[in-house]
Chain A
Amino acid sequence: MTALSPGAGDPEFRKSLRKRPLNHWNETIIKAALVACAFVTLATTALIIFVLFSETISFFRDVSFADFFLDTEWQPLQKPVSFGIWELVAGTLNVVLWSLLIAVPIGMATAIYLSEFANPRTRRVLKPVLEALAGVPTVVYAFFALSFITQDLLQPGLGKGTVPIFNSLSASVMLAVMILPTIASLSEDAMSNVPRDLREAAYGLGSTRIEVSLRVVVPAALSGIMASILLGIARVIGETMIVAIAAGSTPNLTLDPLASIQTMTGYMLQVGLGDAARGTVDYRSLFAVGTMLFLMTLLFNIASQLIIGRYREQYE
C-alpha cells in the first residue's frame, strides 16, 4: 500500500482520471447503431404481420368468411369465382403426408445408423455429405421432380394414363430428399445426447444393439425426433418451387399421390407470375393464402421449439 505511484493522493490527478470517462462519445453512437440493427429484425416481423393482415382484411371485405372456410372449391381466376381455401390446404397436406411417409423412415434409419452403428470415420464422411444436401437450391429439386421422377421414372413405370405430368408424388419424393438432412441430422443430435448409462444398462441386461437403439435410445430421444419432424413439416408447408413446378396448378381436394394438385404456395407463385394488379381480389387473395401459410408454418415452428426447450431441460 505504501508503494503507490507518486501523485496518487493528489486530488488534481484523481480528477484528471475522472475526466476520461470509460465510455467515449462514439461508444454511445455505436451502441445506438447496434440497437438499430437489432430493431431491423423486430421491424421485419411487424411488417410481415402488418402487410399480411391488412391485405387479408381487405380481402375479407370482398369475400365472406363463409366462402373462404366453408366453400370447397378454389377457383379464383375464372368465373364463377369461389374462394374455398380447403382445396389448397388439402394440396399442402397431400405433399406433407407423402413426403413424411418417405422422409421419416429414411431419416430415422440414417439417424440410428449414424448415432448407434457407424464407426467415427463413417460418421465423419456421411454427416457432412448429408448436410450438403441441405444446401441444394430447391429449384434444382423441382427440376429433378418434373424431369426425372415424373418423366423418366413414374410415367414409364406406371403408365402415362395413371400418372399425370404434374403429380403430388414426384413433388413429395423431392420434398422428402429436401427435408431428409433436417430430420436425420437433428434426430441424430438428439440420439447422441442420450446418456451412455441408459445404453449400458440395456446392454448389461443382454440387449442387442438394434434392441438398444429401438427400445432405449429412440424413446429417450423422442422429443428431439418429434421436433425435427415438426421442423421438416414446416419446411414442406413453406416450400414453393418444388410443388409449383412438379405438383401442378389444379386445386384438388384429395390426398391421392398420383393426382395433380395445387398447394397454398403453388397458388401464390401462380398469382406472382401473373402480375396481379394492386387492389384486385386476386392480389388480395395472395395475402389471405399467405396469412394461412404463415400461421401454419409458425404453428409447427413454435411447436418444434417448445419441444426442444422441454427436451433440453431433461438432460442438462
Chain B
Amino acid sequence: MQGEHIEPVDLRATGAVARRQAFSRLSRYLLLAMSLLGVATLVVLGYITIDDGAGRIDLDFLTNYPSRFADQAGLRSSALGTIWILGTTIVLAIPVAVGTAIWIEEFAPKNALLTFVKLNIANLAGVPSIIYGILGLAMFVRFADLGPSILAGALTLTLMIIPMTVIASQEAIKQVPPSLREGSLAVGATQWQTVWSHVLPSALPGIITGVILSISRAAGETAALIMIGAFSFIAFDHSLNPAEALQDDFTTIPIQIYNWTIRPQEAFRQNAAAAIILLMIAVFTLNLTAAVIRERFRRTY
C-alpha cells in the first residue's frame, strides 16, 4: 500500500448532523459544569466557614464550658458529651447489629419471617431521625424514667443506627464465599465455629467500614437528641465512672452548633463556624478511615 496515493475524503458531517454532533460535544461540558455545581457549592461554603471560624479555634475554645459570652464559650462539655454518647452507642449497637446480620445471613431459615425481618429493617433505615427522637422521649426518658440522660440518648441513637449497621454488615457477610464455610463445615466445625473463625474474620473489614459510617452518622445527629431533651446548659465534666456518667444530662457538639447558630450575634456565628470545622474534621476522618479500610482489606475471591 505504501506510496500509493489516497485521495483525502472529508468525512466531517455537515448540516443537521453537524449541529447534532456539536450539541453533543457541548453537552459534555454543560453536564460537567452541572455535576460540579453541588461540589463547588460545598467548596465555597467550606471556604467561608474556615474563613469565619478558623481564627476562633484555640486551646480555650476546646477547654471552656459553654457561656453566654461568645468569646468565653467553648466545646468542653459538648465534646465530652459526644464522646460519652458515641462510646455508649458503639457498645450497645454493634453486638446487636452484627448479631442480627449474622442471624439473617447464616442461621435464619429462609421463610416468610426472614423476608419480613429484612423488609422491616429496610423500612426502619428510612424512618426519620426525629421519629427515633420521640420514641426515645416516650420510651426511655418518660416511661423508663431515665430522664434526658446519656443512657437515654445512647439508647435512642442505638435504635437509630442499628438498621443501617445491619444492612452494611449483611453486605460484608454476603461477600464471604460459600467455599470457605463448606471447607470449615467439612472438617467438622459447628455452624457457630465456622461463623466465628472463618466468616466473621473475612467479613470484618466490611463490617468495620459499615460500623464507622454509622458512627459518623450518629456523631452528627442533632434532632433526635434535642427531642429527648438534650438541649441544656452543661457546665461540668462527666464522672469517669460509667454508672454515674450514664445518668448525667449532656450536650453534644452538633447541639452546641445548633445553639450557637440560632443566636443572632455575629460572634456566635463564628463559634458555630469554628465548631463546624472541628466536627467536619472528625466526620471526614471517620469516613476516610472507613474508605481506607474498605480499599486496604478488600479481598477478591
A: residues with CB less than 8 A from B are 22-24, 26-27, 30-31, 33-38, 40-42, 44-45, 47-48, 51-52, 55, 105-106, 109-110, 112-114, 117-118, 126, 128-130, 132-133, 135-140, 142-144, 146-148, 152, 177, 180-181, 184, 206, 208-211, 231, 234, 237-241, 244-245, 265, 268-269, 272-273, 275, 278, 286-287, 290, 293-294, 297-298, 301-302, 305
Contacts and interface: CB of A to CB of B under 8 A. Distances in A.
- Report, nearest first, the 6 A-B pairs whose CB atoms are least far apart: A137-B220, A238-B128, A37-B99, A208-B24, A109-B34, A240-B223
B255 to A, nearest CB: 8
Given A45-B120, A110-B38, A268 B227 contact: yes
Contacts, number: 242
B61 interface: no
B135 A47 contact: yes
Contact of A147 (B135, B219, B269): B269
Nearest to A304: B126
Given A48-B127, A135-B216, A272 B258 contact: no
Contact of B39 (A48, A118, A130, A137): A130
A38 B99 contact: yes
A287 B262 CA distance: 25
Contact of A135 (B188, B191, B262, B283): B283
Contacts of A132: 284, 287
B147 to A, nearest CB: 12
Interface in B210-239: 213, 216-217, 219-223, 226-227, 229, 231
A41 B103 CA distance: 12
B83 interface: no
Q: Which of A44, A106, A129, A239 has the most chain B CB within a 10 Å cutoff?
A: A44
Interface stretch (B25-33, B198-206, B242-250): B25-33
Contacts of B190: 22-24, 27
Main secondary structure of the interface of A (DSSP, over half): helix
A51 B229 contact: no
Nearest to A108: B34
A12 B230 CA distance: 67
Interface string B92-133: 000111011011100110000000010011111011111101
A56 to B, nearest CB: 11
B31 A113 contact: yes
